[in-house]
Chain A
Amino acid sequence: MKIQHWAIIFIFIMIPLSIVCRNKISKKNLNLREETRYNNIVDNATYDAVNQIIEVSEELGYGKNVPITENIANAAIDRFFASLSVNFNLPMESKTAKEYFAQYIPAIVIVGYDGLYVCSQEYTSEGYSFKLKPKIPYAYTYYCSDGTPVMIHFTLDNYVSVYFPNDTFLVGATDEEGNPDMDGTHILSGYVGNLLDLDMDGVDDYVLDPYGISALSRSRKTKLY
Chain B
Amino acid sequence: MEDSLSIVFAIIISLILIFFVPLLDTWEMQDNLSYVVTYSAVTDFVDTVRNTGYISPDNYHTFLSTILATGNTYDVTMEHREFNEDIATYLNTYTNTIEETLDRGENYKLDKYDYFYVTVKNTNRTQASMLNSFFAPEDQSNFKIGVSYGGVVWSVRDEF
A60 within 8 A of B: no
A124 on the B face (CB < 8 A): no
Of chain A, the residue at the smallest CB distance from B46 is A44
Q: What are 17 residue pairs bridging A and B, where the CB atoms are less than 8 Å apart in the complex?
A: A8-B9, A11-B13, A33-B35, A40-B149, A41-B149, A44-B149, A48-B151, A48-B152, A51-B154, A55-B154, A83-B151, A86-B81, A86-B115, A86-B117, A86-B151, A87-B150, A92-B115
Q: Write the residues of chain B forming the contact surface with A, with a CB cutoff of 8 angstroms.
A: 3, 6-7, 9-10, 13, 17, 28, 32, 35, 39, 43, 79, 81, 89-90, 115, 117, 119, 147-152, 154
Q: Which residues of A contact B13 (CB under 8 A)?
A: 8, 11
Q: Contacts A4-B7, A8-B6 hold; do A86 and B32 have CB atoms under 8 A apart?
A: no
Q: Which residues of B contact A29 (CB under 8 A)?
A: 32
Chain A residues near B119: list those with CB within 8 A: 89
Residues of chain A having any CB pair with chain B under 8 Å: 2, 4-5, 7-8, 11, 26, 29, 33, 36-37, 40-41, 44-45, 47-48, 51, 55, 79, 82-83, 86-87, 89, 92-93
Residues of chain B within 8 A of A36, CB atoms compared: 39
Residues of A within 8 Å of B17, CB to CB, are: 11
Q: Nearest Cβ in chain A — how far from B89, in angstroms? A: 8
With contacts A29-B32, A86-B81, A92-B81 taken as known, whether A7 is within 8 angstroms of B10 at the C-beta atoms is yes
| Leading 4 A-B pairs by shortest Cβ distance | A4-B10, A86-B150, A86-B115, A48-B152
Known A-B contacts A82-B115, A89-B117, A92-B81; the reply to A8 vs B10 at CB < 8 A is: yes
Residues of B within 8 A of A92 (CB): 81, 90, 115
**Contact B117–A5 (Cβ < 8 Å):** no
The reply to whether A89 and B152 form a contact with Cβ atoms under 8 Å apart is: no
